[in-house]
């Protein structure tokens, strides 16, 4: 783990930088793609422009969400503000889906009434620049997500991955339409881009929805938590493990079963040692541990987990 990965302040800096980088690239891409569309009248370029315009909107949304998510817990939000990120992701998923629907309508119209692409050389050059800009940003965002686990940056990366695929598809459409005379390649590529956007919207929506509904961590992570808890030599068993995530934060609650003859002081020390081990494995975790005497029947309503 790097120093940045281990520090909340470092993660916040990375997330803010990623948000500002996204905003800057969005402004650039909207400007040059708008010029390319008005020069070429290509519906595929329009698809790319719509995608970038959506990215510009969500970049502003991400700035707000990240700022809110990084705000420390206060008297009215004891668990912090991490759910601002999945809320933003939910909105982004909806906007991606709406943009895809718009492209589908435009593509069908252009399939029925195909039009040639004008100034194809200019449009092609602009799309190549767009590919370079989007690819650079996606690589940077991938690094930020790996170090911070940010849902907002992850959702934004999905947008720019879509944008990258869109740009490559538009390049193919321009080459086929202007170089080989296949005019309908333009709306066909736009339809493919729209389908890819729908897939991305579903992925972003599902990830955000799971966090908002406090879905349990993946089975692999839960098994890892159990292994860490049971690795302590004085923990006999565990039950009632509950987990959830909010933004970059993880919440873990677990009951550990200890020797009934153990002193309260030692039980407290064991809990602290287990908590430290869990926090070492999950740096952004808030851990709550309840101590139970081993061999005592659980109260009705508590199920083993």
SS3 74: strand
pLDDT in tens, 1-33: 343 444 556 767 787 788 788 888 888 888 988
Q: Which residues contact 183 (CB under 8 A, 6 or more apart)?
A: 114, 115, 116, 117, 177
The beta strands (E) that lie in 22-68 are given as none
More confident residue, 163 or 276: 276
Residues of the chain with CATH 1.20.1510.10: 3-212
- What's the pLDDT tens digit per position in 197-212? 788 778 777 877 777 7
Q: Is the pTM of this model over 0.75?
A: no
Give the range among 48-52, 185-189, 268-272 with minimum mean pLDDT. Answer: 48-52
pLDDT score recorded for residue 268: 93
Three-class SS state of 292: strand
Whole-number Å distance between alpha carbons of 292 and 298: 9
Each residue's pLDDT tens digit, 66-110: 666 556 666 666 566 566 667 777 777 777 788 778 778 877 887
Nearest to 51 by CA among 111, 130, 153, 115: 130
Q: Do 104 and 144 form a contact (C-beta atoms < 8 A)?
A: no
- Classify domain 219-293 at the CATH superfamily level: Cation efflux protein, cytoplasmic domain (3.30.70.1350)
Within the chain, which residue ranges are assigned CATH 3.30.70.1350? Answer: 219-293
User: What pLDDT score was predicted for residue 1?
Assistant: 39
The two structure tokens encoding residue 152 = 């907002």
Return d(Cα 205, Cα 87) in angstroms, integer: 10
CATH class, domain 3-212, is: mainly alpha
286 touches 248 (CB < 8 A): no
């Amino acid at each position: 783990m790097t120093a940045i990965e281990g520090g909340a302040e470092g993660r916040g800096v990375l997330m803010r930088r990623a948000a500002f980088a996204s905003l800057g690239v969005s402004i650039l891409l909207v400007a040059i793609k708008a010029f390319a569309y008005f020069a070429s009248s290509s519906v595929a370029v329009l698809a790319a422009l719509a995608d970038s315009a959506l990215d510009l909107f969500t970049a502003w949304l991400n700035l707000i969400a990240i700022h809110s998510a990084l705000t420390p817990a206060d008297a009215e939000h004891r668990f912090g503000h991490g759910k601002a990120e999945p809320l933003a992701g939910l909105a982004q998923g909806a906007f991606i889906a709406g943009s895809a629907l718009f492209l589908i309508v435009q593509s069908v119209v252009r399939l029925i009434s195909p039009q040639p692409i004008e100034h194809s050389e200019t449009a092609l050059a602009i799309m190549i620049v767009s590919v370079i800009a989007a690819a650079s940003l996606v690589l940077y965002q991938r690094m930020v997500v790996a170090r911070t686990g940010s849902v907002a940056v992850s959702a934004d990366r999905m947008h720019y991955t879509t944008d990258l695929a869109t740009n490559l598809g538009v390049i193919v459409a321009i080459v086929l339409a202007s170089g080989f005379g296949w005019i309908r390649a333009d709306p066909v590529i736009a339809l493919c881009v729209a389908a890819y956007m729908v897939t991305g919207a579903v992925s972003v929506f599902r990830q955000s929805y799971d966090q908002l509904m406090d879905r349990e961590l993946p089975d692999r992570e839960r098994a890892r938590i159990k292994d860490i808890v049971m690795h302590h030599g004085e923990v006999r068993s565990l039950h009632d493990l509950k987990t959830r995530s909010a933004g970059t934060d993880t919440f873990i609650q677990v009951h550990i079963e200890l020797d009934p003859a153990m002193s309260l002081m030692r039980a407290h020390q064991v809990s602290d040692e287990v908590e430290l081990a869990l926090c070492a494995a999950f740096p952004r975790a808030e851990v709550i541990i309840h101590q139970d005497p081993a061999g005592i029947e659980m109260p009705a309503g508590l199920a083993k987990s």
